[in-house]
Amino acid sequence: MGFLREKKSLSPIISVVLLVGISVAASALVYAWFIGMEKGAGEATGGTAVRTTQATAAAILMTNVDLNNGVNVTVVNIGSVNVTGLTLYVDNSVVPSTGQHYVNKNGVTTLANLSSYIMPSGVHTVRVDSKYGAEASQVVVK
């Protein structure tokens, strides 16, 4: 038993300092991990929130659809935000169009394809979509 009495252990002060240091380091790691997760979630939902807000505030109306000389569509913004990325479709096919592909709040624009898109007689669905989900469509008989 004399052998065990001669062996010395760490002093209580050093062991407390080591325990506190390990606890602080572990807390810092957990905090950094949590902040990183929170930032990533905020960025992911922040972009979705912006798109959702724009989609609910954006609204367009087609006031004139003419299929006699190609495709000529007048679009009015009836929403509370500017609408961008307007795309013209006829019978679910994209139609290349000239004109502004955006319409400001309370504004009007015209999308047209007068030369290369000749419409056959019959019933056609004309639709205009925006980048953030505003949509207007009409069924037209030519």
Do 37 and 93 fall into the same domain? no
Of 32, 55, 78, which residue constitutes the final position of a domain? 55
Cα separation, 135 vs 83, in Å, equals 10
Q: How would residue 128 be classed by pLDDT, with cut points 50, 70 and 90?
A: very high
Domain containing residue 94: CATH number: 2.60.40.10
Q: What is the pLDDT of residues 1-22, one digit of tens each?
A: 555 566 666 688 888 899 999 9
25: left (phi over 0), alpha (psi -120 to 50) or beta: alpha
Q: What is the pLDDT of residues 78-120, one digit of tens each?
A: 888 888 889 989 888 888 888 788 888 888 988 888 766 677 8
Do 102 and 73 fall into the same domain? yes
Do 72 and 36 fall into the same domain? no
- Our count of domains for the chain comes to 2
Do 75 and 24 fall into the same domain? no
Structural domain that includes position 40:
2-55
Question: pTM of the entire structure?
Answer: 0.60
Do 15 and 28 fall into the same domain? yes
Cα separation, 71 vs 64, in Å, equals 10
Do 75 and 33 fall into the same domain? no
